[in-house]
Structure 1
């Protein structure tokens, strides 16, 4: 841990009373960037976020990353993580098996403004993605020896690595935030949507006893203290997550319609990111690398005052 990280950890004493009590109610890993997520009951925490999260990415012929923004059908690609392999399934396609411990040729790829080292996953995977997406595509895996850092501006100088995420190790959203959103959505005459639309890693829910988590409490928290069997995990929310058109895409059908984005525009414009609409908080890992996060673990946090 760096000196800056250690100082941040000391900002809130582990034994101080927490302003907010919550639990981890759901955990999600997204092995292939912009494909469907995998809901899990437990996940190993690494410096870069949850193990295998955004470890793979789909790129075009020039090595530029592809997402649901351009190719909504990516939402229909369902990964499954097994002991030694990842299995990818999609409508009309035979299953694609990807060994977790094998890669092929080293390549350079681009994700947003970053050019990073990666490994190509070979011609069979490339043909599978090309056939399903209808455009030239290849599958690549992040090079674990490479280093891609979150914005130091938002992390207050803390060096926080991530893999192929949009920029931060984790995304945290509360159930209360989704519940409030769905109340507003139903009032407009639309069907409620699932948490999958917003692609969080950690979902905060209410403990069995105590105060309830309020909508968008995650926006106001300084540090998340999570009690695990190996000790305390500390996560720092650092940036409100700006939302692109992906939440408009129904993950079950890949059909896109504007009601989710329209509602976000109505009440979630955030001055902290120049008026962009936000939902959830990007977070970094301060302590607890190699600890196992599990659904049901208690979470304590203090509110941030600026």
Structure 2
């Protein structure tokens, strides 16, 4: 059997906006460097996502020397730069699911741009290094912090799992539906369900729990249109209780650089 390899690395700097594929990335306790360190909040300081605001799928992000470039996919000339070091830096307590976390505002320019394009009174916030937001201690055993990601620092999915799902779908979908951080090639479908401890390159990771999928996966990242798939098909064979599982939540035990092509090994 071919070697198991890290075939794709993805980050999503602004929660629920477009992802960025990288050839290499730094691992940190909260997740990959830059991954979901920024988030958009409403007037009540509550996070917003594609679940309710599908058009967020059509806003992309790029890493630039001056900061995050946030732009319309269909009109890249319409953009705003959100500096890595916030200009406003007003402290604000933000709500992410059941958590309340400390954040800081970024810039009035970013707030205005997002508000105009999404039709709401919005602010862009950043998670400073001083913020503590703990992953669920029932699964994350080492008191890990997490970024603005839903629950855990990393999401791993095997390419074979997507290929197997696509064999059941009338129209194939891309991995972007599932917003993984790490895609692994060279496995059997759903091999990741059996992993507990893995190394990628020379860095150790702990697989802590399956990822329960939500309606966000039914929003086409290319068009922002919503449909029944892939949840309808996944529900027929990936249901556990009232949850539909696809991918695994992971924490990092070592911090350093990973690159596409790194070998994955499963540890005892």
Give the match for residue 113 of structure 1.
98
**Secondary structure in 2 matching 1:154:** coil
Give the match for residue 174 of structure 1.
158
- CA positional deviation for 1:21: 4.5
**Secondary structure in 2 matching 1:181:** helix
State whether structure 2 residue 245 is matched by structure 1 residue 278: yes
- CA positional deviation for 1:84: 3.2
- Cα distance in 2, alignment partners of residues 21 and 35 from structure 1: 33
For the Cα contact (< 8 Å) 2:213–2:245, is it kept in 1? Answer: yes
Give the match for residue 258 of structure 1.
228
- CA positional deviation for 1:72: 0.7
Unaligned runs of 5+ in 1: 1-18, 207-212
Give the match for residue 160 of structure 1.
144
**Secondary structure in 1 matching 2:167:** helix
Give the match for residue 220 of structure 1.
194
- CA positional deviation for 1:277: 0.1
**Secondary structure in 2 matching 1:259:** coil
- CA positional deviation for 1:94: 1.8
Give the alignment's Cα RMSD to 1 decimal.
Answer: 1.6
**Secondary structure in 1 matching 2:18:** coil
**Secondary structure in 2 matching 1:293:** strand
For the Cα contact (< 8 Å) 1:57–1:140, is it kept in 2? Answer: yes
Task: Summarize the Cα distance change of 1:279–1:20 in structure 2 as closer, same or farther, 3 Å threshold.
Answer: farther
Aligned to 1:204, which of 153, 163, 184? Answer: 184
Give the match for residue 194 of structure 1.
174
For the Cα contact (< 8 Å) 2:14–2:61, is it kept in 1? Answer: yes
Give the count of matched residue pairs: 265
**Secondary structure in 1 matching 2:189:** coil
For the Cα contact (< 8 Å) 1:20–1:301, is it kept in 2? Answer: no
Tell me which stretches of 4 or more aligned residues in structure 1 moved more than 6 Å: none
| The structure with more helix, counted as a fraction of residues | 1
Aligned to 1:81, which of 60, 63, 88? Answer: 63
Where does 1:1-306 land on structure 2 (aligned, <5 Å)? 21-90=3-72, 91=74, 94-104=78-88, 105-155=90-140, 157-185=141-169, 190-206=170-186, 213-227=187-201, 232-270=202-240, 274-287=241-254, 289=255, 291-302=256-267
- Cα distance in 1, alignment partners of residues 200 and 87 from structure 2: 34
- Cα distance in 1, alignment partners of residues 83 and 38 from structure 2: 12
- Cα distance in 1, alignment partners of residues 87 and 154 from structure 2: 25
- CA positional deviation for 1:118: 0.4
| Superposition TM-score, scaled by structure 2 size | 0.95
| Superposition TM-score, scaled by structure 1 size | 0.84
For the Cα contact (< 8 Å) 2:83–2:106, is it kept in 1? Answer: no
- Cα distance in 2, alignment partners of residues 239 and 103 from structure 1: 38
- Cα distance in 2, alignment partners of residues 259 and 252 from structure 1: 14
For the Cα contact (< 8 Å) 1:84–1:101, is it kept in 2? Answer: no
Unaligned runs of 5+ in 2: none
